[in-house]
Amino acid sequence: MASLLKSIQIPGNINEVQGPSAIQNKPVVFLQHGVLDSADAWIVNHASQTPAFVLARAGYDVWLGNSRGNKYSNSSADSKNEKEYWNYDFEDMGDYDLPAAFEYIRNVTKQEKLAYIGHSQGTSQLFYSLSNNETYFQDKISIFIALGPATRLTHESSTLLRILSSNVTRIALNNLCEEHGIYEIFPYNWLTTGAMDFICEVIPEICQAIVYLTTDQYLEEDDYERQQVYFGHFPAGTSVRSLNYYGQIRGYGEFMRYDYGKDGNILNYGQETPPIIDITKIQKVPIALFVGEDDEVATVIDNRWAKDQLKTLVYYQEYKLGHLSFLIGKDGSYFTQDVMNLLNTYHPLNLPESQQAI
């Protein structure tokens, strides 16, 4: 079933001359958020260091992707109630959604290549895509910058992910959802996002506890004020299958394809168990890994493993950050300095100095 995807463009500063010709002279940067999130993630921090605004001020044409099924990228009300509509995970995003977004952006901007910056699930889907179909992507991506890279999850300490990765828990939850026709999880509405916004304002300790138990080991690394803003936009909705998939990856201890069960695996893969997503197959696209030392989801140990697998790695650095710190951290220098330096090397601006923002 087709999904309507919405990308948000920030073509420049508010006082900058706009128009098709001006935009088409700018290099494109595409940002893809993580699971349960939305494009809002890239603009919730202070304007001086939130990624989307840093890029736009520098002179890039910024595009913010939205995963299918979230509050921006959804279909009609009728189709949203259908099981088929929610039968997706990050493999589908890599196989269909990223190519669709890239082709649309190329048609609008006339730029042949873009720089890709992903966070969490936004990295998983491109790691899968590059290992499965790099021939398509190699001429379209100048560099892949991975923030909080999520591949193998054998050493994560996230309480939520550990619960989801238990076979007993996963099977019970999936059966319960199936029985009641629930295929969407944590949609953007008053009962989820609205409640989080209210709770974070009235009882902020609850929100801090949620972050501690799921993503970030040390809360002092995050900007408390921006954390409240973030939870005014999160969660933004996804499929039950998407969360189940990460539970499988954690349970198997491998970065692997979706597990359909023995019969389903034979039908889809020709073997009883799901195959490994082999990131050693990536041969062309330059990759940069930005790893949080205090990330409870995409840990240092798992990313050191990924580092050893990748043959096109051009940058690897561990930062005093948690998983959400890449979005709401107090210290945004990893982006304002290191990410921007990488872009200057692999995806440089071609604007005259007079047109580059302050």
Catalytic residue, chosen from 3, 38, 73, 120, is 120
Q: Which amino acid, one-letter code, is at 172?
A: A
Place of tokens 């990624």: 51
Measuring CA to CA, which residue among 276, 277, 257 is closest to residue 267? 257
Assess whether 120 carries a catalytic annotation. Answer: yes
Find out whether 68 and 33 touch, Cβ atoms under 8 Å. Answer: no
Place of tokens 């940067």: 29
**C-alpha pair distances (Å), 208 with each of 161, 163, 224, 266:** 17, 19, 8, 44
Assess whether 295 carries a catalytic annotation. Answer: yes
Find out whether 153 and 249 touch, Cβ atoms under 8 Å. Answer: yes
Residue 35: CB atoms within 10 Å: 25
Omega within 30 of 0 (cis) for the link into 235: yes
Catalytic residue, chosen from 7, 323, 325, 347, is 323
Find out whether 66 and 97 touch, Cβ atoms under 8 Å. Answer: no
Q: Where are the beta strands (DSSP E) in 121-227?
A: 141-147, 184-185
Catalytic residue, chosen from 222, 295, 302, 347, is 295
Segment holding 282, helix H or strand E: none
12 conformational bin, left if phi > 0, alpha if psi -120 to 50, beta if neither: left
Find out whether 193 and 233 touch, Cβ atoms under 8 Å. Answer: yes
Q: Which amino acid, one-letter code, is at 65?
A: G
Annotate 301-334 with DSSP letters as a single string.
HHHHHHHHH-SSEEEEEEES--TTHHHHBS--HI
Task: Supply the residues annotated as catalytic.
Answer: 120, 295, 323
